[in-house]
């Protein structure tokens, strides 16, 4: 890679966002050695180290963090301008880069993308499905989808779903064998399919509520997973109780392979929201995506019942 300040800056941003040379080189289509050389030349030109390198990881120095925060959005805007320069008047082109949690894939993204792409066929949508905390500005993303409780307050938010619940579910075979829990404390004597946080690696405590009172139950059981699909298949097989976002288990509840238990204690959340930085210049592609998302959003909002407190903290696997 020939050294120019812009090339070197773009190389650094890729490494900083991917947290490694291998993934960044694959994204840029150059060798890791050429990428490393470009970043080193930039460091030499600036006279400060931007990255701390070890054999296993890459971390930002304070100077690197400042450069990422200050230069990242500007470079992204410049690259977007290059992609859209050849567009015809009124034609929307470019790329929309999204981070979404697993629970939003089947309920929101899968129905929304065909509608959007039919209207804007020259826009490329890059969807990263991940259930960890994501700084969309630092990682060069345009927008994300999360529960509103998980979104920083300086972000613009667009509602995509009604208020909904997190419920405890079980297969009929499990309930016949082990009985039905009647209170949150009963969960401590049941087999539960545990959720491991992809952010903290700790086990998630199931959150329940009834009126002004709330519970965080440290459940235990034979299976621990961070994957919602495995969790639901284990629940259907009768391995144990599961804690799930109700819209994700709609089909299983309809078929009767899973049943809701502890329904009076189900925790309500305001819903899923599309969000993006309020200070950023919104690209035509992102603006178009937001418009289509607004059209697809529910017209009549389903509200949480009066007195519902909502969750006390983010739930892994639904938040990044």
Largest CA distance in the chain: 70
Weakest mean pLDDT among 8-12, 171-175, 181-185: 8-12
Q: How many CB atoms lie within 10 A of CB 299?
A: 5
H-type helices in the chain, by residue range? Answer: 5-18, 21-28, 32-46, 62-84, 103-104, 110-119, 172-178, 228-236, 250-255, 284-296
On average, the pLDDT of the chain sits at 86
Rounded CA-CA distance 169/118 in Å is 37
| The pLDDT of residue 62 is above 70 | yes
For residue 149, the model assigns a pLDDT of 78
| The pLDDT of residue 68 is above 90 | no
pTM for this model (two decimals): 0.70
| The pLDDT of residue 311 is above 60 | no
Rounded CA-CA distance 178/239 in Å is 11
For residue 314, the model assigns a pLDDT of 39
283-286 CB contacts, 8 Å cutoff, 24+ apart: 283/77, 283/80, 283/84, 283/94, 283/96, 283/142, 284/84, 284/92, 284/93, 284/94, 285/80, 285/84, 285/92, 285/93, 285/94, 285/95, 285/96, 285/120, 285/123, 285/142, 286/96, 286/142, 286/143
| The pLDDT of residue 26 is above 50 | yes
């Amino acid at each position: 890679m020939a050294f120019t300040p812009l090339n070197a800056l773009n190389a650094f941003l890729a490494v900083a966002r991917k947290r490694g040379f291998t993934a960044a080189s694959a994204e840029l289509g150059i060798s890791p050695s050429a990428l490393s050389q470009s970043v080193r030349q930039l460091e030499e030109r600036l006279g400060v180290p931007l990255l701390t390198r070890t054999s296993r990881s890459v971390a930002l120095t304070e100077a690197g963090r400042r450069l990422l925060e200050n230069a990242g959005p500007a470079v992204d805007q410049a690259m977007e301008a290059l992609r859209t320069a050849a567009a015809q008047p009124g034609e929307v082109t470019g790329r929309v880069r999204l981070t979404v949690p697993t629970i939003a894939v089947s309920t929101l993204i899968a129905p929304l993308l065909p509608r959007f792409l039919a209207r804007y066929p020259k826009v490329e949508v890059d969807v990263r499905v991940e259930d960890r905390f994501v700084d969309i500005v630092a990682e060069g993303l345009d927008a994300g989808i999360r529960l509103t409780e998980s979104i920083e307050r300086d972000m613009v938010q667009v509602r995509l779903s009604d208020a909904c619940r997190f419920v405890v579910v079980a297969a009929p075979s499990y309930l016949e064998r082990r009985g039905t829990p009647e209170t949150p404390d009963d969960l401590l004597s049941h087999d539960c399919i545990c959720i491991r946080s992809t952010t903290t690696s700790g086990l998630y405590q199931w959150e329940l509520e009834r009126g002004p009172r709330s519970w965080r139950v440290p459940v235990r059981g034979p299976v621990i997973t961070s994957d919602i699909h495995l969790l639901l298949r284990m629940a259907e097989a009768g391995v144990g109780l599961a804690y799930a976002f109700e819209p994700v288990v709609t089909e299983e509840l309809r078929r009767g392979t899973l049943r809701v238990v502890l329904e009076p204690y189900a925790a309500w959340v305001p819903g899923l929201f599309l969000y993006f930085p309020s200070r950023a210049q919104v690209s035509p592609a992102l603006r178009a995506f937001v418009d289509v998302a607004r059209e697809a959003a529910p017209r009549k909002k389903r509200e949480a019942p009066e007195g519902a407190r909502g969750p006390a903290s983010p739930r892994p696997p639904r938040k990044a």
